[in-house]
Structure 1
Amino acid sequence: MTIKARRVATTLAGAALAMLVSVPFGGAEAAAATGQDITAVAQGQLGKGCSTGGWRCDPDAWCSDFVKWVWDTAGIDTAGIGPAAASVAAYGQQRGTTTGEPHVGDAVVYNYDGVSWAEHVNLVVGVRADGMVQTIGGNEGSSPGSVRFQDWHRATDWGSVRYVRPAGIQDAAPEQSPPPGGEGTFNAWTASVEMFARGTDGLLAHTYLGTDGKSGAWSVNGPWQIVGRPVSVYNPNSRAVEIYARDTLGYLIHSYIGADGQYGPWTRVGDWKIASSPAAVYNPGSRAVEVYARSTDNYLIHTFLDASGQNGYWSVVGDWKISETPAAVYNPNSRSIEIYARATDEFLLHNYLLPNGQHGTWTVVGNWKITGSPAPVFNDARRSVEVYARATDGYLLHNYLGTDGQNGSWSVVGNWKIADTPAAVYNPNSRSIEIYARATDNFLIHNYLLPDGQHGVWTTVGTWTISNTPTAVFHQSRRSVEVYARSMDGYLVHNYLGSNGQNGTWTVVDNHPITD
């Protein structure tokens, strides 16, 4: 059974004033800011309404006021911008900063009539090589509107556009990597972290963490039972969270949580059986969700969910056998999917999926043996893929794929032993990689990789013990790293690393028992 595309139209509720309000031009040039500065300010306002932010509030028209406030806060001179969306276009004309290509930090003015009216304005917070953008804007969504994030799309889907650069802005940041799939994922449509697990009844269970920091009640997506850990990934094509798992017969099955918050039905993907949990990652180049798993004869196999919502066929990747669950991450340097897996002789293997849809050949990374699955993550600060794994003697190992496309050499991180596969996530607050693992005494431990390439020291997080590999997800709305694990009595427990760099305290997420 195939799955049809699940697209939801986004309303431009950020209507601008009918007439342009003139504001005197002038004022001293503010300090230069970067596109990352503007993005960070805008992300911090996600979910807020007209009257809950620091900007001027006209309930019917505040999209331009939001853009002005964000630029002001980031250190941009905004003299000349008023309450009308068209004033942003006029600002670009007066400053000579109107451009035909998007950059991170730019404003996007929609359907400007060239004189005194435009329909809407929002901010570019992500740009891809194919011209697709991510945006954040005020007064978007259903009335009365709020600050909303729109994942990869063409701005021209909303009409004619012009991009306006802030005066004095520094070069925008290069393309970022979407986070790889996992038991937890950030849902850009709802601005929440979605968390999945297998219940003790074998059914998929789901909870979430909203912008207010509160966890939602558990819900169950039946009636198919699953084996192992599910994987979820946000799909900007459909604004859905795609969910993949292995069923009790060994087949890959697929469901989703749509933009309306409702579960889709389970469907079987292909007719090949798999021997591991799946791995999934969104590929901005092909606009597809790439899915990998270990076959029953131990080869890596690949399928995908294309931009129209159709699952593809299975294919075998290379002729080397693997053990455990593979891992995949998007690399914006090469616009490729980097794939890592443990070989049957316990060495780390590396392959890749090129932008043309072709896989490469397997290579062995270093000469150290590992146990369990590897944990790769893209490091935006160093523009490298960092790879972590557990050594056969129980220590954490680190390797990397540099900007030159070459894998580095193994190094040991700290002197604490870990019990299973680590979890690693990029933290834009500190521009560091945060690493979590279960220690041999079952406490959660934390380390990090700084932008200068140096690791920190291990610390213990809290006083609760855990019984499985932790999951770590960066919550873009809360600007925190959310950490989940299974407690010793079988419940999901939650901790976090705040924007101040401090870990919080453990809490139990409702009372739904889970496995794995």
Structure 2
Amino acid sequence: MSTPSTRNTPGVRSFLLVAAIVTSSLAVATPAQAAAPSLELPFVCGTSWDGNSGDSNAHRNKEIDFNATGTKGDADKGKPVVAAAAGTVRWEGGENSDYGNYVEIDHGDGYSTLYAHLDQKSVGTGDTVQQGELIGTVGNTDGNSPGISAHLHFEFRNRGSGQSYPDYIRPASFHGNPFDYATGKETFVSQNCGTQTPPTMPGVSSVSRADGSIDVFAVTSDYRLKHRNFSAGKWSCWSTLPGNAKIKGDPAAVVSNNGNRIDVFAQGIDNRLKKLTWIAGQQWYDWADLGTYAITSSPAVTMRYDTGFDVFARNATNKIVYRHFSIADGWVNDWAGIGDNWSTVTATSAPAAVASADGTRMNVFTRAPDGSLLSVMWTSGAGWYNWADRGGNYVGRPAVTTRGGTSLDLYLRHNDSSLVQWYSPDGADFTTYKPQDFGGYITTSPTATTWGNQRMDVFSRNSNGDLIQKFWTAGNNWTPYIGLGPVGAPAC
């Protein structure tokens, strides 16, 4: 941790003395001491981290540097950092500041927490965050000392104390356990679990162009899209796709033209739908803006025939709407609600969608306010049916794929962040087969793709932010989770 300068350190709130004349003498009214927030470790629930307050010559008071237990060097780079307590982001800095990328969260009554040397920031000034919400990733950014190893520099501050830096840095306690400043070292297992939604990182999407081939797309905290391909039994390095638009959330990809075209749809930071296209032999085009209609979720996309897509998203009134896109003609219709009872259904997640191979059926899924799964079906003969509540308690966006016919395989993130699979033989029967819990701890909504009817692959990210995979092949069981390393590394 580099020594912060007075010029780059955010200003201290003034401490005002209130004077009053009491019985003809001057008295100073001392305000009552405000209660400090109850802090949890700023890392994903259940992970172990070593705190160190004594080994940095840049530390001036009660600062703590954190690394995951048992790691060395830059092994922690990219791991999620979450809010130690609820509050509002009041200050932030970039890579060239004394703290590198940092955010400081105001918890009220003069108290704040600072998170420094971040690799990426997921929040900015003015954002309100809940305890346990993702705010960035561990990094090694520092404007004064390039080349530092990755770690989180953490400070608990009382800006309302009337003191200046570094005196306003206070001793920190996590889950009621005071840090051992006498020895300068202590190991904590995060209890930052609470009742809030588990932290969710920017998501991933996957498609298959042909048997033996998978394309994976991931959104990073700097609003860029990364791409990686699996073919001939090997993974390529990560590449960064065109950046003329900033996107957020989970991308949605679809393959057409016999595997010679990929279209990726995403929500822009301006809440407008964007599309990025790859055509074999022509590489990637720039992002296209698809209109001014405001969407409030990541999109979903599916294909009923080889030159047209159906795109789904949540709108400003929390309803799932769709629009059909033709490669030859562009948009065919305006955004419209789906399901006969669409006006009574409130969606709290992005949608997921899949079409049968013959184009005669579509199924769309989202999450209800109580965490249950909602579904609606369209058939070429009857149009849209009513939305139905399938129960359960899930987090984030569902994922869905098909092995053939009208069968469906749903993948969901349970409210304990485990991965759940739910099979339906026809897209309407959700009672014959019960949800299967695969366990584990995933920090993004899953994404799934199939190779014909012989293989299914599911991807998400683990508590370190790394890409993970499970796959099933016909006649065999599911593999254990496979680690595929940090998103973006190795890079092309």
**So what's the TM-score if we normalise by structure 1?**
0.47
| Higher normalized helix content (fraction of residues) | 1
The structure having more radius of gyration, on CA atoms, is 2
**So what's the TM-score if we normalise by structure 2?**
0.49
